[in-house]
Amino acid sequence: MSVDSVLFSPAALASPLTGPLTPVHPADHIPGWWRSAVIYQVYPRSFRDLNGDGIGDLAGITAELPRLAELDIDAVWLSPFYRSPQRDAGYDVSDYCDVDPLFGSLGDFDAMMAEATRLGMRVIVDLVPNHCSDQHPAFQAALTAPAGSPERDMFIFRDGRGAFGEEPPNNWQSHFGGSAWTRITEPDGAPGQWYLHLFDSSQPDFNWDSRAVHDEFERVLRFWLDRGVSGFRVDVAHALVKAPGLPEWGGRADGSSSDGFPGRDAPMFGQPALHDIYRQWRRILAEYGPDRILCAEANVDPLPRLADWVRPDEMHQAFNFPYLHAGLDVHRMRHVITESLTSLDAVAAPSTWVLSNHDVVRHATRFGYHGHAPRDGDGIGTWDPQPDEDLGRSRAAAASLFMLGLPGGAYLYQGEELGLPDGIDIPDTQRQDPTFARTGGARLGRDGCRIPLPWRAGEPNAGFGHGQDPWLPQPESFARLARDVQAASSSSHLSLYKRMLELRRRLDLGRGSLSWYEDLCTDTSLAFLNGSTLVLLNVGSEPLELPAGRMLLRSSTPPEAGYDAGDMAGAGDPLGSGETVWLEIYIEDTEG
């Protein structure tokens, strides 16, 4: 029985929904492909290795794009593939307008673009404007130039404090641990100035008070726009500009609020001059037509501040980290969803939703714990409490089905469609996240969520590459989670993703509305109406009774273990613990 034939069956239309609704967000009729887009993050190092060196490459992406097209996504976002010493997996760029030979060539990029376009997918690339690599020619020139020179002025060099300049210029700390300052040796061999790096010492921060920096990035934008990209995900978009005088900051290195240090006051984030930069970039994108976009990776709080980055004359979208960090806490989820939609509707910007990326423990692992994952998500080791993988994958399916029912855009991280867990058993010698080295192993870092993907179970390295071993070891489970195994099963995680993405588009949920359905918003459940689709999540330990007489559209449990599309949910049918359903609801025409 096809969904269509049941979707509007008399039974499904027989009984209107009762119970109070709390409207939050109206349907979105503003033009713009990105406003409801599903964008899939490709992390090139770990996607697919075609030349057999153990590291993913652009040709590997091109080879597997048809598999992504099966997900019916709107765009792919590529993490950096530019020339880089790879000290921070490419987020340390030494040439913004060239492809690192590790990943291929500009010709390989153009071939990948052509294939994506053929398949009807757009391509977004990562832009890393806050800092470059210490091997970038501009920084190399700054090292050999004298203090006060134009070359130094492209970066944030300062004299040290103390009688001999032996102390850092201020107390700022790196995201990756340790001081955010490194002292150089001047060309004459004398101890020299210090330079700022909010991340690794191999990632010197640009000085965005310098006109030369502005000019360089306007050149970079045009270079990739000329090559056909549909836009940019802007790395650390809340940083770039620093408060004059670089005042002391005793708060968190990532600028999130902590006791006595509200994020709004962080002198290295959220500075007013930032928005002039993005307004200028928006003007440049507009020269290429209405459909090139900027997406802000702006990790700011409180959440309504996110609206400062997304305006009709600034950025188009922003990442929603508060939603990612809300996990399966239904009260936090409701608060974040309501606040996101309300704040962003006020500036006519779409919300976005995300559960995983290359910087956080995968949600299939996070949800394998009943409380918080160990180490507050900063990597998991073999000696930590271990996640329940099956529980994590099942709850991740429920979380993803709930997320994809929301109006707005959605970001998927490569491998989440396979329900992949984090890699936990990674030898210290193979860990590459600079966080691990800078903290002497106290923080494990992010390698666990960056394990090379499994494509074909029967092949070496589960089909990731046929040559050298992958740059990080694949867990045993990756063979049975491989894409080809899951594509052959209608009850796999991958098949669920395909079903829900197809129906999300068919029901146009991304453009939809949202009202909370209060009767099913409890301490252990959350329910909203998006158009005529009721999305219901049960996080309680007990089954939840479904509303009577509804046609079930999608369930996070495999068909043989639960419901399948087209089933009529009868009065009191159970929705199990850690499950989500989409139900087709007939709403009485209250307008009469």
Residues lying near Ca ion in the complex (CB under 5 A)? 49, 51, 53, 55, 57
Q: By CB under 6 A, tell whether 354 contacts ligand TEU.
A: no
Q: Which helix (H) or strand (E) holds 124?
A: strand 122-127
34: how many CB neighbours lie within 10 A of its CB?
22
Helices (H), 230-329: 274-286, 321-326
Among 450, 389, 454, residue whose Cα is nearest residue 421 = 389
Q: By CB under 6 A, tell whether 299 contacts ligand TEU.
A: yes
Q: Per CB under 6 A, which of residues 405..424 are in contact with ligand TEU?
A: none
Contacts of 440 (CB under 8 A, 6+ apart): none
CB of 210 to ligand TEU, least distance (A): 19
Burial 95-114 (b: 16+ CB within 10 A, else e): bbeebbebbbeeebbebbbe
**Position with the least CB separation from Ca ion:** 57
Per CB under 6 A, the list member of 39, 112, 124, 236 interacting with ligand TEU is 236
Catalytic residue selected from 287, 376, 476, 589: 287
CB of 317 to ligand TEU, least distance (A): 15
Pick the closer one to Ca ion by CB: 55 or 318: 55
Pick the closer one to ligand TEU by CB: 412 or 551: 412
End-to-end alpha carbon distance in the chain: 33
Alpha-carbon span 123 to 102, nearest angstrom: 20
Q: Which stretch binds ligand TEU (CB under 6 A): 33-41, 111-119, 357-365, 395-403?
A: 357-365
Pick the closer one to ligand TEU by CB: 264 or 506: 264
CB of 50 to Ca ion, least distance (A): 6
Contacts of 199 (CB under 8 A, 6+ apart): 88, 91, 131, 174, 175, 176, 434
The torsion angles phi and psi of 534, rounded to 5 degrees, stand at -95, 125
Judged by beta carbon distances under 5 to 8 A according to partner kind, the member of Ca ion, ligand TEU, none in contact with residue 91 is ligand TEU
Tell me how long the chain is: 592
Judged by beta carbon distances under 5 to 8 A according to partner kind, the member of ligand TEU, Ca ion, none in contact with residue 53 is Ca ion
Report residue 159 CA to chain centroid gap.
37
Chain position carrying tokens 């290295």: 268
Per CB under 6 A, the list member of 122, 175, 450, 504 interacting with ligand TEU is 175
Alpha-carbon span 366 to 531, nearest angstrom: 31
**Position with the least CB separation from ligand TEU:** 91
CB of 240 to ligand TEU, least distance (A): 12
Pair of tokens at residue 19: 């119970």
CB of 183 to ligand TEU, least distance (A): 21
Contact 431, 447 (CB under 8 A): yes
Cis ω for the linkage preceding 302 (within 30 of 0): yes
Q: Which stretch binds ligand TEU (CB under 6 A): 40-48, 355-363, 478-486, 562-570?
A: 355-363
Per CB under 6 A, the list member of 34, 43, 77, 91 interacting with ligand TEU is 91
Per CB under 6 A, the list member of 72, 235, 447, 579 interacting with ligand TEU is 235
Pick the closer one to Ca ion by CB: 51 or 140: 51
Pair of tokens at residue 501: 């993405």
Q: Which helix (H) or strand (E) holds 339?
A: helix 330-345
CB of 359 to ligand TEU, least distance (A): 4
Number of residues that bind ligand TEU (CB under 6 A): 13
Pick the closer one to ligand TEU by CB: 240 or 553: 240
Alpha-carbon span 490 to 568, nearest angstrom: 20
Per CB under 6 A, the list member of 99, 315, 360, 462 interacting with ligand TEU is 360
DSSP assignments along 24-49, one per residue:
EEPPP----GGGG-EEEEE-GGGT--
For the question of residue 388 being annotated catalytic, the response is: no
Q: By CB under 6 A, tell whether 334 contacts ligand TEU.
A: no
CB of 298 to ligand TEU, least distance (A): 8
Q: By CB under 6 A, tell whether 88 contacts ligand TEU.
A: yes
CB of 104 to Ca ion, least distance (A): 8
Judged by beta carbon distances under 5 to 8 A according to partner kind, the member of Ca ion, ligand TEU, none in contact with residue 140 is none
Contact 311, 347 (CB under 8 A): yes
Pair of tokens at residue 146: 């004298």
Pick the closer one to Ca ion by CB: 55 or 462: 55
CB of 254 to ligand TEU, least distance (A): 4
Q: By CB under 6 A, tell whether 134 contacts ligand TEU.
A: no
Judged by beta carbon distances under 5 to 8 A according to partner kind, the member of ligand TEU, Ca ion, none in contact with residue 51 is Ca ion
**Can you tell me whether residue 116 is helix, strand or coil?**
helix
Judged by beta carbon distances under 5 to 8 A according to partner kind, the member of ligand TEU, Ca ion, none in contact with residue 49 is Ca ion
Catalytic residue selected from 126, 200, 235, 308: 235
CB of 91 to ligand TEU, least distance (A): 3
CA atoms 398, 401, 405, 409: torsion sign: positive
x-or-dash string of contact with ligand TEU, 40-79, rule CB under 6 A: ----------------------------------------
DSSP state of 265: G
**Residue 568: strand pairing partners:** 551
Judged by beta carbon distances under 5 to 8 A according to partner kind, the member of Ca ion, ligand TEU, none in contact with residue 236 is ligand TEU
Checking DSSP bridges between strand 122-127 and strand 231-234, what pairing results, if any?
A: parallel
346: how many CB neighbours lie within 10 A of its CB?
10
Per CB under 6 A, the list member of 43, 194, 199, 402 interacting with ligand TEU is 199
Contact 78, 44 (CB under 8 A): yes
Contact 35, 408 (CB under 8 A): yes
Pick the closer one to Ca ion by CB: 48 or 152: 48
For the question of residue 447 being annotated catalytic, the response is: no
Alpha-carbon span 45 to 81, nearest angstrom: 8
The torsion angles phi and psi of 489, rounded to 5 degrees, stand at -125, 130
Interface residue list for ligand TEU (CB under 6 A): 88, 91, 128, 175, 199, 235-236, 254, 299, 321, 358-360
Active site amino acids: 235, 287
